[in-house]
Amino acid sequence: MDHFNYHAGELHAEDVPLSRIAAEVGTPVYVYSAATLTRHFGLFRQALAWTDHLVCFAVKANSNLAVLKLLGDLGAGMDVVSGGEYARARAAGVPGDRIVFSGVGKTLAEMRQAIEGGIRQFNIESEPEMRALSTLAASMGAVVPVAVRVNPDVDAKTHEKIATGKSENKFGIPIARAREVYAEAASLPGLRVVGVDVHIGSQLTDLDPYRAAYAKVADLTRALRADGHAITRLDLGGGLGIPYRRDNNAPPLPLEYGQVIRETVGDLGCEIEIEPGRNIVGNAGILLSQVIYVKQGEGRDFLIVDAAMNDLARPAMYGAHHDIVPVIEPAVGAAVRPFDVVGPVCESGDTFQKGADLPRMAAGDLVAFRSAGAYGAVMASEYNSRPLVPEVLVRGDHFAVIRTRPTFEEMLARDSIPAWL
């Protein structure tokens, strides 16, 4: 469920008509719904209400400060994978003891930043990282909580570029070697073992891979406790999928996901951490764009819009689908015809959808790319020297610009020409 619906013949974000945002902010522009963010976060808390838990929003899905502030004020923790994301979480008012630092390539500078600023735990991805963290923490006179990320070799049955739990993926330590790694972690200064971490991928639409991975985590937890480790937290990752196509069967609900957690690890008495990102913010956002031209091609028609692959990279990068809908509601029974919806970037890869069934369209019409709140603005670039797309947050009948579109002058000012040129 989201809060982007037609009212009086026009698509609205909550109670704000999208044409109003287009007129005041311009296009392309990302638009987020505060009500949808609040609702989706609440569903995960409800799913884990049976146990002690912390829902840590995956900042990589959407790192806008206003989004992080909204979720943080609701009680969310944050899952970060870089020093920049850590800085954003803190700037949004999230305390360090609600921030989990993940990621396969933490630098010493990032580790120091989190130790000095406060951290709930580091999720260790490799033995070299573990030893580096130990040396740094000890030199700072600190003892930091850690969980080791284990790779359970479970096929998440998702896109190959976002699968993280198979043996050939770069993430985590093979679960078969976990006990020896934990033994070393317990012997190192500056580290305090508190939990086990696992994450098998993103956009999962089947609960069976979770069930298989969490069963392995449960067995490992019992073995680690037998070895003398005080395992009090289980970080079970995120990755629950969202419906990108309105005509498809809906993925499992957070409540169903929570029941799998309860059935597999609920008897261990551990605090549960999860790291949803896409499922909280994906359907809470749309990308609003304007038609530039309708072009007749050889055997096909093109809808050329002002959004491009630099604004929304997922279709070009992953072959991802986003439903594209007109902002003005078509009349009941209105004829539709197929369009290839493309952007103005000088690459054939700048294609959002081929054969999208849309009503008669004309230059100046507005369209919305649904389910664009996750991995949209965060992956945007200035390719072709196109300004970064702005972002808007809606609450009820009002909205605010939460990231402005830079001017060409601001873009150019970041470059410098050496005096010898």
As annotated, the binding site includes 239, 275-278, 314, 318, 347, 375
The DSSP 8-state label assigned to residue 384 in this structure reads G
Quote the Cα angle for 76-77-79, to 5°: 130
Asked whether 68 and 59 are in contact (CB, 8 A), the reply is yes
- Three-state DSSP state, 269: coil
Strands 285-296 and 173-174: unpaired
Q: How many CA atoms lie within 13 A of 218 on its CB side?
A: 16
Beta bridge partners of 305: 291
For residue 334, is it left (φ>0), alpha (ψ between -120 and 50) or beta?
A: beta
Beta bridge partners of 400: 393
Q: Which of 1, 8, 332, 346 is catalytic?
A: 346
Could you tell me which residues are annotated as the binding site for substrate?
A: 278, 314, 318, 347, 375
Would residue 56 show up in a list of annotated catalytic residues for this protein?
no
Could you tell me which residues are annotated as the binding site for pyridoxal 5'-phosphate?
A: 239, 275-278, 375
Whose structure tokens read 């580091």?
122
Strands 285-296 and 29-33: antiparallel
User: Where in the sequence numbering do the catalytic residues fall?
Assistant: 346
